[in-house]
């Protein structure tokens, strides 16, 4: 098996283990055993669980983005596109809840170096999606906006701020699946208010 194939196989095995048992309850030995690899071979590709987790996190976020990219691009109605974006975002979190829950190990101020570029790329991708949706509304004559990118950043920051506020009022750092549905409902309500405020009134 080629090196790239072996690395991909390790990541896929880790995704299955992490998704089923959770990251904390999975050992590197178990992942090596699943693939009939020696621990030395596994550690050659990933020196510790955190580096493997970073690769898993990057893989699932990239796959999640690609899965609905075309449908989002084809949606011409910006209001429906925003709702679609938020709904798919929540579906992704619920689908990989056992994997993403591990993030509660860290706070925003102490994110490990291994995860920082993954978070940076994720934020960049989401801002690009939001900017594209807003630009559709501008081109269609629906929104009165001078700077689509800055508006996307503002909307994104409000979403992040809302989630932070929600988390401060919950006993767990990482919400459970039902709580994410509550968050989604409020995000959708906020999106309607936010973008209605930018809509050009038709005479």
Would you state the pLDDT for residue 174?
66
Q: Provide the percentage of residues in the chain whose pLDDT is more than 70.
A: 93
pLDDT value at 203 more than 70: no
Q: What is the pLDDT of residue 171?
A: 58
Within the chain, all domains assigned CATH 1.10.357.10 are found at: 49-196
Neighbours of 193 (CB within 10 A): 8
What digits encode the pLDDT tens for the residues 140-177?
999 999 999 999 999 999 998 887 777 676 655 566 77
Residue 168 tokens read as 């401060």
Average pLDDT over residues 124-150: 94
The model carries a pTM of 0.88
Closest alpha carbon to 195 in 55, 84, 80 = 80
3-state secondary structure 29-72: HHHHHHCCCCHHHHHHHCCCHHHHHHHHHHHHHHHHHHHCHHHH
**Per-residue pLDDT band at 195 (split at 50, 70, 90):** very high
CB 111 within 8 A of CB 119: yes
Length of the chain: 203
Per CATH, domain 1-47 is 1.10.3720.10: no
- The answer to whether residues 102 and 24 touch, using CB atoms and an 8 Å cutoff, is yes
Mean pLDDT computed over 56-73 = 93
Residues of the chain within CATH 1.10.10.60 domain(s) are 1-47
68 φ/ψ angles, rounded to the nearest 5 degrees: -115, 10
Distance, in Å, from the CA atom of 113 to the CA atom of 184, rounded to the nearest integer, reads 29
Q: How far apart are CA 143 and CA 135, in angstroms?
A: 9
- Cα–Cα–Cα angle for 104, 109, 147, rounded to 5 degrees: 100
**Which of 130, 152, 125 has its CA nearest to residue 61?**
125
Angstrom distance (rounded) from CA 113 to CA 199: 41
Q: Residue 98 half-sphere exposure, CB side, CA atoms within 13 Å?
A: 13
pLDDT band at residue 179 using 50, 70 and 90 as cut-offs: confident
Q: Cα 186 to chain center, whole Å?
A: 18
Q: Identify the residue with better confidence: 107 or 79.
A: 79
CATH architecture of 49-196: Orthogonal Bundle (1.10)
Tokens for 22?
């959770």
Phi and psi at residue 59, in whole multiples of 5°?
Answer: -65, -45
């Amino acid at each position: 098996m080629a090196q790239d194939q072996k690395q991909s196989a390790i990541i896929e095995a880790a995704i299955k283990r992490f998704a089923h048992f959770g990251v904390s309850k999975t050992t590197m030995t178990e992942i090596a055993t699943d693939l009939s690899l020696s621990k030395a071979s596994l550690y050659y590709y990933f020196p510790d669980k955190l580096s493997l987790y970073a690769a898993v996190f990057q893989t699932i976020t990239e796959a999640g983005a690609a899965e609905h990219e075309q449908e989002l691009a084809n949606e011409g109605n910006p209001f429906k596109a925003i709702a679609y974006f938020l709904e798919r975002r929540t579906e992704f979190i619920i689908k990989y809840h056992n994997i993403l829950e591990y993030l509660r190990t860290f706070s925003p101020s102490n994110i490990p170096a291994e995860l920082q570029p993954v978070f940076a790329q994720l934020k960049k991708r989401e801002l690009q999606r939001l900017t594209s949706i807003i630009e559709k509304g501008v081109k269609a004559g629906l929104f009165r906006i001078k700077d689509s990118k800055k508006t996307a950043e503002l909307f994104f920051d409000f979403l992040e701020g809302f989630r932070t506020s929600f988390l401060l009022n919950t006993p767990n750092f990482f919400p459970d699946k039902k709580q994410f549905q509550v968050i989604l409902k409020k995000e959708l309500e906020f999106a309607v208010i936010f973008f209605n405020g930018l809509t050009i009134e038709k005479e």
